[in-house]
Structure 1
């Protein structure tokens, strides 16, 4: 075992250019990081630069490092999808061939809405694909004043329910989401996630979503590298929505994050502790606040905030630590619509004990991450998983 602690940080949606099959997903030309760089005036990311990000991906504002300190490569997704769950599950060994159902064009079927109304005792409004902030402005007053229930979807395979923390209450909102999760286990309604979207405020212009979001995801379709690590007695510490994505499977400790900056601070605090195993972090704000809302400037500023926190984390890494930075899909903030985009994602690996660095061959799957982690800890990957370790290439 070379590394006692491995940190995997997912910059949610930070794609680096279209995959070869992007046209099949109607994503020809999407390039999240590249188009952000072309759009914003500045991109101050000295820590990502020193690790080799600009060596992997040409950036207008950032020169390639003369002597990059990390290993880096592009990764393609083997699974048939471009959503959060599919990407994260693949990192840990699961290939998803049947994509999750979406209800973007026409909303949810009347039969599902009728049953959800009956079980929740509230009239449902919305039932369409929409931005979370826009639908609150449109329907928030009606939900608060008339006791209705806002249900909506997006380009993802999700059923989202809004609830006012002050008038509906968090526990009631979570209960409604549990009902929705039960109903959407049926094959014809089977969405990847039911998401509770709590907010505060009483009238238009004042509504604000809170950090008490909760995802009710499907369980992974089989055991992953996380299960293998936990079963072997190693720590598997989750930060952000990792615990929701894997429905607690293979997790030994879960930490809820209020923001991506908070998630990085939690990761920094964990790096100051002794543990043996994996710290797995998801930073969702890139995707939720900037990608889906098509805001390249905000996205660029979020990358800069991350880089500053990365500068705090790097000095805490020990000789027997490994850091892996990656993403789960793209979400080009300059692209049409508000959907995720089918893109390659970055893989950057760094350890203070590295004697070499540089570019690795492009991977045909995200699953190299889980396979490499399992290999390091001498743990066998579960039967049916995919991925090949590249541990021997990190020297």
Structure 2
């Protein structure tokens, strides 16, 4: 086991620019993070995310006000959804479901069956509610979501914590660019404390299960999704490239705990060098 605890933070709704198949989903020109940053008066200040490598995700088309850094502390890349539809729940399932020997399995239920702790927190638990016997929390604000994360950071139990930050989705549905910018700044401030509280054997993964460029309307847009990975035990990060499926996150968790073969996706573990 490389890491005793894995924390996955889902910025659901934050996209990094149109994906190659954007034309199939009426998303040509979609750029959630770019449009949010452009509308913010002055520079959108996200120092913690920037140090992790958030700006390095887009070197050829820099995020306004968030340039790349020379030595990011995290590993950075982009996820491309493999599924042929673009609903909000699709990315969630792609990230956490895999093909087992008999039927489709969930990473969450596989971990709990193996005796690991699994905590899920999010705004809408229709899918997550079926992931028994994981501990589940319904949250309606980013503050409440981070409180769950802080509680788990203070609990020395090996396993997975998956937290969805709900205000990004709400901002997308309401087509509120300012609310998205404010949610990003709040997230950045909390991340500084999260990183401080991480132990040497912890892994933090920041990503998103869908994108929603508010300038395109209230429905999801087909974009690349962010990927940032950090552990205090890794001194410096590097590029993870473009991942061809969100299932790479689930595969990383499965390989880390050694509970099932990663039949879908490719684990990141061997790319997280010491």
Q: TM-score, normalised by structure 1?
A: 0.65
3-state DSSP of counterpart to 1:247: helix
Counterparts of 1:327 and 1:5 in 2: how far apart (Å)?
Answer: 20
Asked if the contact 1:229–1:250 (Cα under 8 Å) also holds between the matched residues in 2, the reply is no
Q: CA deviation at 1:59?
A: 1.6
Among candidates 234, 239, 256, match of residue 138 of structure 2: 256
Aligned to 1:319: 200
Give 5+ residue unaligned stretches, structure 2. none
Q: Secondary structure at the match of 1:325?
A: strand
**Whole-angstrom CA distance in 1 between matches of 2:241 and 2:233:** 21
Deviation at 1:243, TM superposition (A): 4.3
The secondary structure found in structure 1 opposite 2:260 is: coil
Could you tell me which residue of structure 1 aligns to residue 46 of structure 2?
45
- Could you tell me how far apart the structure 2 residues matched to 1:75 and 1:292 are? 22
User: Where do residues 1-395 of structure 1 align in structure 2 (5 Å cutoff)?
Assistant: 1-41=1-41, 42-57=43-58, 58-94=62-98, 222-241=104-123, 243-288=125-170, 290-335=171-216, 337-381=217-261, 385-395=263-273
Unaligned segments of structure 1, at least 5 residues = 96-220
Aligned to 1:121: none
Q: Structure with the greater relative contact order (CA < 8 A, sep ≥ 6): 1 or 2?
A: 2
State the alpha-carbon separation in 1 of the partners of residues 271 and 33 from structure 2: 26
Cα distance between partner residues in 1 of 2:73 and 2:30: 28
CA contact (8 A) 1:265 1:309 kept: no
| Deviation (angstroms), 1:66 | 2.1
RMSD: 1.7
Q: CA deviation at 1:242?
A: 6.8
1:360: Cα distance to partner?
A: 1.2
Give the TM-score normalised by structure 2. 0.92
Q: Is the 8 A contact 1:238 1:251 kept in 2?
A: no
Tell whether the 8 Å contact from 2:73 to 2:235 is kept in structure 1 after alignment: no
**Does structure 2 conserve the Cα–Cα contact (< 8 Å) formed by 1:228 and 1:381?**
no
Deviation by residue 1:153-208 (Cα, 9 ceiling, x = unmatched): xxxxxxxxxxxxxxxxxxxxxxxxxxxxxxxxxxxxxxxxxxxxxxxxxxxxxxxx
Deviations 1:199-223 (A, max 9, x none): xxxxxxxxxxxxxxxxxxxxxx831
Answer whether contact 2:139 2:166 (CA < 8 A) is retained.
no
Aligned-pair CA distance for 1:84: 2.2
Structure 1 residue 356, shift from structure 2 partner:
3.5
**How many residues matched?**
266
